[in-house]
Amino acid sequence: MTRWTTWLPLAALLVLLIALITHTTGAFGVTVVALFLVAAVLAAVHHAEVVAHRVGDPLGSLILAVAVTVIEVALIVTLMLSGTGDTSTLARDTVFAAVMLSVNGIVGFSLVVGALRHHLAIFNAEGTGSALATVITLAALTLVLPTFTVSNPGPEFTPSQLAFAAVVSLALYGLFVFTQTVRHRDFFLPLETGNHSSRDVHAHELPGNRQAATSFVLLLVSLVGVVGLAKVESKPLEHAVDVAGLPHAIVGVVIAALVLMPEGISAVRAAARDQAQVSFNLAYGSAMASIGLTIPTIALAKLWLSGPLTLGLGSLQIVLLLITAIVAVLTVVPGRSKPLHGGLHLVLLATFVFVSIKP
């Protein structure tokens, strides 16, 4: 493993350390940070695929989803604790962006690539439907319900409501993980296709334990670099957004896209290998972990945070979430997908990005 995927994560951490010490703001420094950010994303994708190949699905997809989400949550809490500007909607905007990018973006691109290359994208509707149902339930309980509760003025939970939402989110996520990895693991494994068994792809290249352990460590290092460099880039991005007169929520969309890029690339690659189930595991696992881990962490952090915490979505966002849920259900139910389904999700993704810029 003496190649770029080994030394580049460490180089990304070094660049991050230099950027934090020197408070990089110049155009050259920002460009260098951006280049290492993209390189760290590519390294993370490589190491995630090595780990996933060694442990197998669905555990491999779960490891990547949880690793990315844990660091994403840390980034949200760090930005909220920094107290720069209005951070009351930061958690909501980031989580909602992660859900839309996962359910529409990762799924959409994966289905288009998989269906175009293999005529149809085949997956297990039973397991995928369970994952989608969990995502919809979590999103409704934590992002939609606060808009309609009346104990607090505005789209906010009371402390007891927030605690309830946190416990329920964690419980649902834990129940799904148990279902996916223990009780009904077969429902989340790639199905056999007409041409070959996708479970046996590259079986002769199975990484050894040492290689997988090294890749796991380097995956974590890469993800720390991705999130840290994204945080460094957030200040110049905020300045550019303010200069352009764009809504501040677009910053959260861009950062969420950067953080989810490793999972997105891995999911599209899996779809190209005729493993649409792996793509769905990554996409819905990311959306689920983003809600199920973020809300409990934010609820705990609220003990130290001052000011309001707005979790409820606006009417426009709720409509987009509802349409996304309906289209996702119709995509999953048949257990196979045409390029049209991927196109529908990509149109919804484009709509989300457009209305984030021009609400």
pLDDT at residue 201 in the model? 45
- pLDDT one-digit tens code per residue, 215-228: 888 888 888 887 78
339: confidence class by pLDDT, cuts 50, 70, 90: very high
Domain ranges (residues) in the chain: 4-357
- Classify 123 as helix, strand or coil: coil
At 253, list the tokens.
Answer: 């969309």
Q: What is the DSSP string of 137-199?
A: HHHIIIIIHHHH--SSSSS---HHHHHHHHHHHHHHHHHHHHIIIIITGGGGSPPB-SS-BGG
Residue type, 93: D
Give the residue among 40, 141, 102, 148 at the shortest CA–CA distance from 281: 102
Stated pTM of the model = 0.82
- Whether the CB-CB separation of 331 and 345 falls below 8 Å is answered with yes
The predicted structure's pLDDT at residue 25: 64
Q: What is the pLDDT of residues 99-110, one digit of tens each?
A: 999 999 999 999
**Between 37 and 307, the higher pLDDT residue:** 37
Mean pLDDT confidence for 185-201: 64
- What does the DSSP assignment read for 234-261? HHHHHHHHHHHT--THHHHHHHHHHHHH
Cis peptide preceding 207, ω within 30 of 0: no
Higher pLDDT, 61 or 299: 299
pLDDT of residue 65: 74
Q: What value, to the nearest 5°, has the Cα angle with vertex 68 and ends 239 and 328?
A: 95
Count of Cβ atoms closer than 10 Å to residue 326 Cβ: 11
Residue bearing tokens 């155009």: 27
CB neighbours (10 Å) of residue 52?
25
List pLDDT tens digits, range 74-115: 777 766 766 556 677 878 888 999 999 999 999 999 999 998
Q: What are the φ/ψ torsions at residue 337 (nearest 5 degrees)?
A: -135, 145
Q: Is the pLDDT of residue 204 over 70?
A: no
Superfamily of domain 4-357: NCX, central ion-binding region (1.20.1420.30)
